[in-house]
Amino acid sequence: MERWKIWAIISLMSFALIGVAMSQIYWIKWSISLDQKNFTSKVFRALNEVRNKIDIEIKNIDIEFNSHNSDTLSSNTEATSEDWRESQILKETKSLEYSLNPDAFLEKLNPDKINQYVEEAFEQQGIDNDFIYGIYSNKKDDFLIVKDRTAINNPSNSDDELNLSELKNTKYKVSLLSTEFNSPGSLNLLFTGSSWSSKLPILLLNLIFTILILFVFSYTIYTIFKQKKISQMKTDFVNNMTHEFKTPIATISLATDSILSPVIFNDKEKIKKFINIIKEENSRLLNQVENVLQIAKLDKRKIELTLTETDVHEVLDETIQHLKLKLDSKSAKIIKDYQAIDPFIEADETHILNIFSNIIENAIKYSFDSPEITIRTNNFNGGIIVSIKDKGIGMSKEELNHIFDKFYRVSTGNVHNIKGFGLGLAYVKTFVEAHKAKIKVKSEKGVGTEFIIRFQKNVT
């Protein structure tokens, strides 16, 4: 996929995600405000219900009186007119008294009855939040009754001072016993629990899903970039391989042409020289093919080790011997510092030779003229440490993170003209791990690189 397309997808997707998130926020806000309005109207319905009941309670004495009256009506007709008159007088006196001094009535309210009214009214409206309520007297400038519904659920809650001043200024209040002239007090109510608790689950769910979408989205983008990189690496690999194969094939073709030319055809010495070139190039080709095959094997995870008692020092010496031509051609210097007293480990000799060979080959390849390579060994309890250090071009931290990836090659600076497949260290890592050993790399750009491998004495 082309780069601009990936970025277009990222931008579109981000745009869509932001859009979804914004509309979610808007929707949640709207539903919360609707919820709030609904709640407020329910609270006031309940408060008004309580107020009505209190009003009726105040006038109740007369009603009771009247009903008592009507009960006795049939049995005692004479007493009735007397009682009725009495009741009328009482009612009028009371009504006068009430309009003149409503405070007195407010003070006489029965706390238990009010509590019952409140409980009933709020239950009817389906409000089960924690709250405190109180009967406030304007004349006294204080509460006559305060009841804490929260205390039933949460007895330790006693922020009384704070709550009372809040209760006084609450938005949930209705006037009590209002007359035409004034109102002696009010019924105030204050919610003490958090109003968020009911919305929390939905908000949390929203948050979780949004985070999930973001995560999946980022992962997808990450995968796209990773795949793109791998595909780029594979293309590089194919280019590299073709190039590596082309050189020996071209050389062989040139050598055979030369042999066939009449001038050389009769010169045995020259023919011998060209045949040697053909043989050398052929073995180079074979090596290349072997390399690719090995990696194909790695892919299938068919790692079989032939474990024997192996002398690491011996294998190192053998590796140096194998690389003699390469070392000489770049006039490389090898410094051996074998400090391990017990160099024997259980290992597959061929593979550890290849491991050392790959690392030393890199040390030669990625160094300036006349490389200097130090090979040091040390025993640690239960094994041997092999360190291969060069004073070459080195790598940055970011590059170090990838060197064990298949097909990875540092593609900047002067590494560009050095041939390779980016497979050597992938091989190293796979077989180091197969030996249950550990590999570590220290490197600094322009200073050098050190590969450190810790082999256990026994693999099994």
Ligand X SMILES: Nc1ncnc2c1ncn2[C@@H]1O[C@H](COP(=O)(O)OP(=O)(O)OP(=O)(O)O)[C@@H](O)[C@H]1O
Nearer to ligand X, 163 or 362 (CB): 362
- Give the residue, chosen from 409, 430, 431, 453, that forms a contact with ligand X under the rule CB under 6 A: 409
DSSP 421: -
362 contacts Mg ion (rule: CB under 5 A): yes
Minimum CB separation of residue 212 from Mg ion in Å reads 42
What does 363 interact with, of ligand X, Mg ion, none (CB < 5 to 8 A by kind)?
ligand X
Which H, E and C letters describe 166-234, residue by residue? HHHCCCEEEEECCCCCCCCEEEEEEECCCCCCCCHHHHHHHHHHHHHHHHHHHHHHHHHHHHHHHHHHH
- The owner of tokens 């640690």 is 380
- Applying CB under 6 A, among 277, 386, 395, 453 the residue interacting with ligand X is 395
Piece of the chain touching Mg ion by CB under 5 A; list 85-93, 118-126, 296-304, 424-432? 424-432
d(CA 232, CA 5): 16
Q: Does the footprint of ligand X cover residue 193 (CB under 6 A)?
A: no
Residue for token pair 């160099």: 343
Which is nearer to ligand X, 425 or 437 (by Cβ)?
425
Burial category of 168 from C-beta neighbours within 10 Å (exposed 0-12, middle 13-18, buried 19 and up):
middle
Is the Cβ of residue 105 or residue 421 nearer to Mg ion in the bound state?
421
Residue 423 binding partner per list ligand X, Mg ion, none, with a CB distance cut-off of 5 to 8 Å that depends on partner kind: ligand X
Question: In the beta sheet, which residues pair with residue 142?
Answer: 137
Distance CA 301, CA 158 (A): 69
- Which residues face 190 on adjacent strands? 132
Could you give the CA distance from residue 426 to residue 248 in angstroms, rounded to a whole number?
Answer: 25
The answer to the question of residue 424 lying near ligand X (CB under 6 A) is yes
Q: Which stretch binds ligand X (CB under 6 A): 36-44, 97-105, 166-174, 355-363?
A: 355-363
Which x/- pattern over 360-389 shows residues binding ligand X (rule: CB under 6 A)?
--xx--x-----------------------
| Residue 390 binds to ligand X (criterion: CB under 6 A) | yes
| Count of residues of this chain found to bind Mg ion when the rule CB under 5 A is applied | 2
What minimum distance in Å lies between the beta carbon of 197 and ligand X? 58
Please give the C-alpha separations between residue 194 and each of 130, 134, 137, 199, in angstroms, as whole numbers: 9, 20, 28, 10
Residue closest to Mg ion when measured from CB atoms: 424
Considering the complex, state which of residue 188 and residue 362 has its C-beta at the smaller distance from Mg ion: 362
Q: By the criterion CB under 6 A, which residues form the site for ligand X?
A: 358, 362-363, 366, 390, 392-395, 403, 408-410, 415, 420-426, 449
